[in-house]
Structure 1
Amino acid sequence: MKNIMLRLAFLALLFTGCKEKEGPKNDGPSTPPNIVLFFVDDMGWQDTSVPFWTQRTTYNDLYQTPNMERLAKEGMKFTQAYATAVCSPTRVSLMTGMNAARHRVTNWTLYKDRLQPMETNHKTLAFPEWNVNGLSPVAGIDKSVHATPLPQLLKEAGFYTIHAGKAHFGAIGTPGADPINLGFEVNIAGHAAGAPGSYLGSENFGNGLEKRKVWAVPGLEKYHGKDIFLTEAITQEAKLAMDSALEKRKPFFLYMAHYAVHTPIMADERFVQKYYDKGMDSTEAKYASLVEGMDKSLGDVLDYLDDKKISDNTIILFMSDNGGLSAVARGGERHTHNKPLSSGKGSAHEGGVREPMLVKWPGITKPGSVTDQQLIIEDFYPSILEMAGIKDHKTVQQLDGVSFLPLLSGKSNDDKRPLFWHYPNEWGPSGPGIGASSSTRLGDWKLIYYYKDSSMELFNIKEDIGETKNLMNEQPAKAWELAKILSDYLRKVEAQIPARKDTGEQIPYPDEVLNSYNM
């Protein structure tokens, strides 16, 4: 009898061991979901066949993004999701949960300890010593924000953390330049620079090109000399990394951060001919091919999840880091590529900060649902931690973000919460809303304050999505309300403010300006 019992115990153990080998453990109800954040560079609100407005536009009919359409049908579409106007501030907010006014990485980073030339050469404004070195996971790095990065918390909670594509978190030679230092276990092609040297494998993605060496994409040597586009190479490597996660039977966090659709605008030969055939401007045809190549990558990731039978336990988030490029390097008329939104990348207007956002969480998000509730990029940090089931986490930084998980199940958030943008810097090009500014949105109303001349713009976004009518004179009470909210916030977080170059005096806060006019 004793031998029989031992034999049964052995068979039970053997059966259990075999059962575990059938697949990863991340498909059970008590196991954290896999999380994929599909993050696109410079993609505008209108660079898609998915309409994020109340109606379709000519741009929605121009671009072909069938996999975004697929994701929208399977999940939730956010029509009023916001980032910052340029890339590094957004990416640091994403990784820290902090607003740019607090973390002070307010412009794009590259060289250590160095302000941008367009800032040092400005005629009238002296810009603050912002955190040009970006995000740092360790204390003591000058001109950087020390914070607990999002992937570090995910890694500590047992997630296999994968970085694929553009990093642009920290300046060259600083800890934040390497995604591995931020808690990623795998780094595919990420470094300090925010654009690729080349999208072409035949050009080694910029490696060996003297004029593009600072932008040369690292770590993809196996594709050098081959006829492959950068978007495709990153996608193939990301799939291999997900294979590793499944082999390790660990839930994974994939940060799929494509360089596309950032400049240099280069043709993805897999898709560009159809746009040439339409008679499009050559630059715009190439741009459209970049968009479609990005969308193909999204489809490849979705197909991978289906093929591995892990879609039901995987959350997909889709977002862009700033508004679509329109002021420079595009074909056609400047500042029109995001219409009906005004302006584009680098601008405080809606075209510079409003982003296409989609979320699919099986069992949580209702297929084909839409929300017009407002959120901002720092909200991703607490939201992803909550998705991962990570509670009572400790960070060295104070969080500004608010979880948007209630929105995913159809609930409303607090519409009285103001959103803030702070850009005490100079981007370079000119155009509507472009320049050193701070702004806030509360409900339907948005106030923008420009440091160069202390002028302000007040818009009712619900009634005037194109920001065509400045209501400062017609709505003085609302202007004062938002100016006070914005000024109080800037003081609270000790936001850096430009100064006058001739006198060295700090530019006044917006409520101080209105006080001087007795508004």
Structure 2
Amino acid sequence: MKKYKLLIIALLTVKTTLFAQNQKPIRPNIIVFMVDDMGWMDTSVPFYDSIMPLNKRYHTPNMERLAQAGMKFTDAYAQPVCTPSRVSFMTGMNASRSHVTNWTSPLKNNDADEKDEQFEPLEWNMNGLSNNAETERTVFATPFPQLLKDAGYYTIHIGKAHWAAIGTPGASPYNLGFMVNIAGHSGGHPQSYLSEQNYGNMPGKTQVQAVPDLEAYFKTGTFLSEALTQEALKTMETPIARKEPFYLNMAHYAVHTPIMADPRFVQKYYDAGLDSTEARYASLVEGMDKSLGDIMDYLKKKGVDKNTIIIFMSDNGGLDHHQRGGALNTHNYPLRSGKGSVYEGGIREPMIVRWPGVTSAGSVYKNPVIIEDFFPSILEMAGVKPAKILQKTDGQSFVKYLKNPHLKAPDRPLVFHYPNKWINLTANEKLGINYFTALRLGNWKLLYNMRNREFELYDLAQDIREANNLAGKYPGMVKKLALVLGKTLKERNAQLPREKASGKVIPFPDEVQ
């Protein structure tokens, strides 16, 4: 009898082991919560080493909640404007390699660059990202949502896409791996946030920036951020009911211009004494934050919060130099400048990751990461190892740092490449806008001004404001970093502008005498 019992136990053990071996691991749901034009200081969560005055201006309790439950990244970066960052996010390619270095006009073959007296128009990929090699003036690449979809993920896009020009494949999220798309198209900002204006879809007044797919909310008093949130909650119902893993690209149009008041929140900012523009801006920030909270509450209600990763990020720095209230160069303080700039105010972003069971509550990661890192990181989170992708990538996974924030990342060149003219501004050299490329390596930051072939050098560990140019004091460091930047740009076949007067392409940073 004893032998029979032992035999039964042994058989049950083998059966259990075989069953466990045949079971696929539970794959996490993944949400990327992407905000448009949100600056590093546009939040009550302090990403600096202390609470700053701007942190006290904004109310983002759900960002606070997410940071308390997950990991805050103090040194997260994107490109200076939206489309280059969004293409890097989708492909893992730095903008210097993709040649999508400026925002894409909604219209096909329409160069968004402003005309310039010094430089010829740049032959950049003005039509953005494509899944078709025959699409002119685009980068042909494999986007990670397609890889997730191929691996069995239910893929959803809500909100701003802005990966490509209208009439090209990349303008539609359906062509880039998404199974559901609400409100994503070629437009880079909303024509209106107001349902009373049909989000821009008004007879005789509709422009290319009018937000599509939200007819059910017209004339209902539903602010755009809320309408997008409601659509996100609805679309998650299907994969949750099916018990399928899902990826949600929650891409708000907020806080991009036009700066319109979210009526649910704006009065408190008027009462606080902010000028009209800044009060409206703060209300956009708080409305975005409410969306984050609603999604977190929904996940908990559905019982899937413990198996859902949330990644919070912005696509470029906060707007500073036009269409804002208050003084120039103050909106991202202590960072210098803002959107469009290679100074910290234009590229340093608020980033938080919550991965239940992996990230430690309230943890902080202080080493630099950049937006092309999302591509390999998300695939690793999902357990997807693609056999083949079309592009050479530049991003590096940050998953091991989520597991251990005390790991020191090796120094690597982070490049912010802008060989374009974004906007006509006076004194734009002081703002780091138009025809700049920059490198961060460790705590050193090098800027190369393409107009005058001059360098700026900053030690970010001592001077986050970038107020003390050390190029004259440390010429050896300038030369060292210029060599790294030039070598990196050349390896990526990066583009530089051509002088009208001479017809010659300007020298790479390592070639400057």
TM-score (norm 2): 0.93
Match of 2:13 in 1: none
Match of 1:495 in 2: 494
1-structure distance, mates of 2:468, 2:478: 14
Runs (4+) off by over 4 Å: 209-212
Instruction: Structure 2 unaligned segments of length 5 or more: list them.
Output: 1-22
2-structure distance, mates of 1:212, 1:324: 27
Q: Map of 1:150-299 to 2, 5 A cutoff?
A: 150-208=144-202, 210=204, 213-299=207-293
Contact 2:201 2:210 in 1 (8 A): yes
Contact 1:101 1:496 in 2 (8 A): yes
**Could you say if the C-alpha distance between residues 104 and 210 of structure 1 is closer, same or farther in structure 2, counting changes exceeding 3 Å?**
farther
Match of 2:20 in 1: none
Q: Comparing 391-400 with 225-234, which one deviates more in the overlay?
A: 391-400
**Which of 348, 356, 362 in structure 2 is aligned with 1:354?**
348
Contact 1:163 1:186 in 2 (8 A): yes
* 1:475 and 2:469 correspond: no
Give CA deviations for 1:411-450 in whole Å, capped at 9, x if unaligned: 4243321111111101114341111111111111010101
Contact 1:151 1:161 in 2 (8 A): yes
**Could you say if the C-alpha distance between residues 356 and 117 of structure 1 is closer, same or farther in structure 2, counting changes exceeding 3 Å?**
closer
Contact 1:406 1:413 in 2 (8 A): no
Equivalent position SS for 2:96: helix
- The amino acid of 1:412's aligned partner reads L
1-structure distance, mates of 2:118, 2:367: 38
Equivalent position SS for 2:208: helix
Contact 2:80 2:342 in 1 (8 A): yes
**Displacement after TM superposition at 1:247 (Å):** 2.2
CA RMSD of aligned residues (A): 1.2
Match of 1:313 in 2: 307
Contact 1:484 1:510 in 2 (8 A): yes
* 1:99 and 2:94 correspond: yes
**Displacement after TM superposition at 1:392 (Å):** 3.9
- The amino acid of 1:42's aligned partner reads D
1-structure distance, mates of 2:464, 2:204: 44
**Could you say if the C-alpha distance between residues 429 and 293 of structure 1 is closer, same or farther in structure 2, counting changes exceeding 3 Å?**
farther
2-structure distance, mates of 1:416, 1:503: 38
**Which of 320, 324, 345 in structure 1 is aligned with 2:318?**
324
Paired residue total: 485
Match of 2:507 in 1: 508
**Displacement after TM superposition at 1:509 (Å):** 1.1
* 1:387 and 2:386 correspond: no
* 1:427 and 2:422 correspond: yes
Q: Map of 1:12-31 to 2, 5 A cutoff?
A: 30-31=25-26
* 1:149 and 2:143 correspond: yes
Match of 2:110 in 1: 114
2-structure distance, mates of 1:376, 1:319: 11
2-structure distance, mates of 1:433, 1:29: 50
Contact 1:176 1:182 in 2 (8 A): yes
The sequence identity of aligned pairs, in percent, is 56
Match of 1:17 in 2: none
**Displacement after TM superposition at 1:226 (Å):** 1.4
Equivalent position SS for 1:275: helix
**Could you say if the C-alpha distance between residues 257 and 246 of structure 1 is closer, same or farther in structure 2, counting changes exceeding 3 Å?**
same
Equivalent position SS for 1:125: coil
Match of 1:16 in 2: none
2-structure distance, mates of 1:260, 1:429: 24
Match of 1:5 in 2: none
Instruction: Structure 1 unaligned segments of length 5 or more: list them.
Output: 1-27
1-structure distance, mates of 2:119, 2:153: 45
2-structure distance, mates of 1:394, 1:204: 43
TM-score (norm 1): 0.92
2-structure distance, mates of 1:379, 1:158: 22
